[in-house]
């Protein structure tokens, strides 16, 4: 598996997004653990989660605990895995999402995440989504404090625009290592943030890089150019999509969600797929 860098930490060029294993429509735990183990077997050593990745109101942190159990069951081979989690988004249990960027709440949430993950310090902690009721600098200031206190080892943000990236860098004293935004063939409005991260040398982690849980199955039908290239190179349309994103900048590390071993094995193969400049240009139109 080819490597890329988050804050000086080498990780696999493709990560695993844990959300589908914990929200509505999730598989049973055995299949989820098999999916995580398949990712590790394929060389993936970056797993993205959040305390909000759960279905019911009384199971906050479901995905974090699931990942912790899976890594423990895998044994010493999981020791080098970077688990990236997030705080600031909430799910009240009715299928909706709410936000809480209060600094004290974020500090409590991070410590609870560390407990659920079974770690002394979280490898990468990300502010999940801006809260319009709280000044952005105040929320990111909580992440800075967690970094200073050693509760987290690296700091990131998610769902941020260019101005917020710059503000977060300033608040964190230049220690911002990652930005996690939605980006896919169908959702390209984060192109500016991707390019800004490339200029700054900050890792850019596309979430829903294949279009999301509901739409991934229609990727080829909706984006014919990606299927055309897949036919040319003899790969799946999903591998081509991820390889295209990798080709956009060396800071890009897609984190496709998966709930089946075969899905994450296929995604992992994108790290070895090299597209021509002409193919990348055709897909970037």
Residue identified by tokens 């020791």 is: 79
Which among 53, 125, 136, 238 is annotated as catalytic?
53
Considering only CA atoms, which of 285, 273, 219 is closest in space to residue 247?
273
Distance separating the N- and C-terminal Cα atoms of the chain: 28
> What distance in Å separates the CA atoms of residue 28 and residue 244, rounded to the nearest whole number?
32
Residue identified by tokens 């310090």 is: 121
Q: What angle do CA 113, 116, 117 make, to 5 degrees?
A: 85
Q: Are strands 9-12 and 3-6 parallel, antiparallel or unpaired?
A: antiparallel
Task: Confirm if 99 and 88 have CB atoms less than 8 A apart.
Answer: yes
> What distance in Å separates the CA atoms of residue 283 and residue 269, rounded to the nearest whole number?
19
User: For the chain, what's the residue count?
Assistant: 285
- Residue 53 annotated to the active site: yes
Active-site positions read: 53
């Amino acid at each position: 598996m080819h490597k890329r860098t988050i804050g000086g930490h080498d990780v696999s060029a493709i990560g695993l997004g844990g959300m589908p294993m914990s929200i509505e429509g999730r598989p049973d735990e055995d299949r989820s653990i098999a999916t995580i183990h398949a990712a590790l077997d394929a060389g993936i050593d970056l797993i993205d989660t959040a305390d909000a990745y759960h279905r019911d109101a009384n199971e906050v942190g479901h995905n974090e605990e699931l990942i912790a159990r899976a890594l423990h069951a895998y044994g010493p081979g999981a020791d080098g895995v970077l688990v990236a989690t997030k705080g600031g988004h909430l799910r009240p249990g009715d299928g909706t999402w709410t936000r809480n960027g209060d600094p004290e709440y974020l500090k409590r949430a991070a410590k609870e995440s560390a407990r659920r993950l079974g770690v002394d310090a979280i490898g990468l902690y990300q502010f999940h989504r801006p809260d319009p009721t709280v000044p952005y600098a105040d929320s990111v200031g909580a992440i800075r404090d967690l970094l200073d206190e050693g509760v987290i080892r690296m700091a990131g943000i998610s769902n941020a625009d260019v101005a917020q990236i710059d503000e977060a860098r300033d608040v964190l004293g230049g220690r911002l290592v990652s930005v996690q935004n939605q980006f896919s063939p169908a959702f390209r409005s984060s192109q500016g943030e991707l390019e800004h991260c490339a200029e700054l040398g900050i890792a850019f982690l596309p979430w829903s890089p294949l279009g999301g849980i509901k739409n991934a199955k229609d990727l080829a039908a909706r984006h014919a150019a990606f299927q055309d290239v897949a036919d040319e190179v003899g790969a799946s349309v999903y591998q081509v999509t991820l390889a295209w994103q990798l080709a956009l900048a060396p800071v890009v590390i897609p984190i496709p969600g998966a709930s089946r071993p075969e899905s994450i094995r296929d995604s992992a193969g994108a790290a070895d797929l090299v597209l021509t400049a002409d193919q990348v240009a055709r897909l970037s139109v």
